[in-house]
Amino acid sequence: MSAPWQQRYAQRTQRMTSSAIRELLKLTSRADIISFAGGLPAPELFPVEQVRAAVDTVLTEHGTSALQYSTTEGYPPLREMITRHMARYGIKVGIESVLITTGSQEALDLIGKILINPGDRILTETPSYLGALQAFTMYGADYVSVPIDDDGLETSRLEEALRAGPKFMYILPNFQNPAGVTLSLPRRRELVGLSDRYGIPIVEDDPYGQLRYEGQHLPPLVVLDAELHNDHQNGRYRGGVIYLSTFSKTLAPGLRLGWVVAPTEVIQRLVMAKQGTDLHSSTFDQMVAHEVARSGFIDQHVARLREVYRRRRDVMLQALEQVLPPETGVRWTRPHGGLFLWVTLPESLDASRLLETAVEEKVAFVPGVCFDPAGLVRNTMRLNFSNASEPMIREGIARLGAAIIGHVSHRPVAAGARVAVPLP
């Protein structure tokens, strides 16, 4: 007898959907496809030797404790290091306000677990990070969404959305995934002021803040909020922001290490929720990350990442300008950091259909509809520029440009239709 699984799934499991796009994107791992789809760091820059040396030191000096269970809150020396690192960005908290998570993705799930009842509304930017939408949707979230422009969340539209009574706001202030835009300082202040006035907390997701390629660092929302409460001096943050960051983009995503900063009462709830999920993040990985970072290595490494990613961003922007002149009606953002830019096609084009042609042309991207909580906007796409080399970016944008021009002019892509992008 086969098990009657269909009747056994929870209601939330029925909210999980597989999509045609996801199936199509599976193809993008093929070696012959230039993929701008994933959000992957450049693998050739992973600090393999530093990690190897750190693994050796950890096993030699702390072998037994590295392989043992440990506390849910995280390895104290790593939490202390994180507090010192964040103080440089104005986030001044003690280690009791810091929880280590298995990547920021786990933090998003734990936040859903402790805050979201089925039917609760979550305020998001449109577009927003797909992984957060997936995590929150599992807990039964509905969405109130506010559009973004080149300065991030359109705060002039925020008050009306707040009147819908969202449980919390989920905001990506720096080099937003997927659109690459950054929330301006006046808007940051306005957002934090409105959060305070309406008593609606903010989840600030900041995986990319350190990957800035131009312009001035802007204060995180958690810092502006602490100033409002004049409460950051004693290191006990009691405000309305839960701040998330990660080692995924500055060290290696395979280590699966992120962290949360929040008022201690929220940290305590997250700790209880995490115990049910994984007891604690890998002791061994936390010790290795601490060992790699101890000497200040991450600062040098991030400086190198900035250099390489800035060039890749510039190459992608240049190539787009060359293959898609203004008369095609295609526009894109010019991110000051992070890993992504966002392309808006003429309204009549559907990026999901374009992806089919693009995959035939051996280039891939993620259609913007995946990042829209309402699943409505059809004519946008996200392009990643960190994972491909400069020549591959040029070649990939040439292929993509040909596919787009084919769709704009309703013509199939003819052989030789590619706009040549010169090598330097």
User: What b/e readout covers 3-32, taking b as 16+ CB neighbours within 10 angstroms?
Assistant: eeeeeeeeeeeeeeeeeebeebbeebeeee
Kindly identify the residues of this chain, within the stretch 67-96, that bind ligand PLP according to CB under 6 A.
none
Contacts 24+ apart (CB under 8 A), 315-320: 315/385, 315/390, 315/393, 315/394, 316/341, 316/383, 316/385, 316/393, 316/397, 317/341, 319/393, 319/394, 319/397, 319/398, 319/401, 319/421, 320/397, 320/401
Residue 389, both tokens = 């080399």
* 338 lies in the site for ligand PLP, by CB under 6 A: no
Sole window of 15-23, 99-107, 262-270, 397-405 interacting with ligand PLP (rule: CB under 6 A):
99-107
Q: What is the dihedral of CA 92, 146, 148, 331, to 10 degrees?
A: 150
Decide whether 97 or 177 has the Cβ nearer to ligand PLP: 177
Decide whether 172 or 413 has the Cβ nearer to ligand PLP: 172
* 104 lies in the site for ligand PLP, by CB under 6 A: yes
Residue 390, both tokens = 């400069």
* 207 lies in the site for ligand PLP, by CB under 6 A: yes
Number of residues counted as binding ligand PLP (CB under 6 A): 14
In eight-state DSSP terms, residue 127 is: S
* Residue in 121, 179, 118, 109 with CA at minimum distance from that of residue 151: 179
Residue 416, phi-psi category: left (phi > 0), alpha (psi -120 to 50), beta (remainder): left
Using an 8 Å Cβ cutoff, are 218 and 91 in contact?
Answer: no
Kindly identify the residues of this chain, within the stretch 25-64, that bind ligand PLP according to CB under 6 A.
39
* 344 lies in the site for ligand PLP, by CB under 6 A: no
Cβ of 174: how many Cβ atoms within 10 Å? 26
**CA quadruple 207, 390, 293, 285: dihedral positive or negative?**
positive
357 contacts: CB under 8 Å, gap ≥ 6 = 403, 406, 407, 413
Find the binder of ligand PLP among 155, 177, 333, 344 (CB under 6 A): 177
Amino acid at 361: E
Shortest distance, position 380 Cβ to ligand PLP, whole Å = 17
* 103 lies in the site for ligand PLP, by CB under 6 A: yes
Decide whether 319 or 385 has the Cβ nearer to ligand PLP: 385
CA separation for the pair 399, 383 (Å, rounded):
13
* 209 lies in the site for ligand PLP, by CB under 6 A: no
Decide whether 253 or 337 has the Cβ nearer to ligand PLP: 253
* 205 lies in the site for ligand PLP, by CB under 6 A: yes
Find the binder of ligand PLP among 28, 105, 126, 282 (CB under 6 A): 105
Sole window of 70-78, 97-105, 215-223, 235-243 interacting with ligand PLP (rule: CB under 6 A):
97-105
Shortest distance, position 336 Cβ to ligand PLP, whole Å = 16
* 145 lies in the site for ligand PLP, by CB under 6 A: no
Decide whether 249 or 407 has the Cβ nearer to ligand PLP: 249
Decide whether 125 or 291 has the Cβ nearer to ligand PLP: 125
Shortest distance, position 101 Cβ to ligand PLP, whole Å = 8
Kindly identify the residues of this chain, within the stretch 223-282, that bind ligand PLP according to CB under 6 A.
246, 248, 253, 258
H-type alpha helices, 205-244: 221-228
* 285 lies in the site for ligand PLP, by CB under 6 A: no
* 172 lies in the site for ligand PLP, by CB under 6 A: yes
Shortest distance, position 177 Cβ to ligand PLP, whole Å = 4
Q: Which residue is nearest to ligand PLP (CB)?
A: 103
Decide whether 168 or 399 has the Cβ nearer to ligand PLP: 168
Using an 8 Å Cβ cutoff, are 364 and 28 in contact?
Answer: yes
Residue 228, both tokens = 């409002």
In eight-state DSSP terms, residue 41 is: P
* Residue in 322, 289, 302, 327 with CA at minimum distance from that of residue 210: 302
Shortest distance, position 293 Cβ to ligand PLP, whole Å = 15
* 222 lies in the site for ligand PLP, by CB under 6 A: no
| Site residues, ligand PLP (CB under 6 A) | 39, 103-105, 129, 131, 172, 177, 205, 207, 246, 248, 253, 258
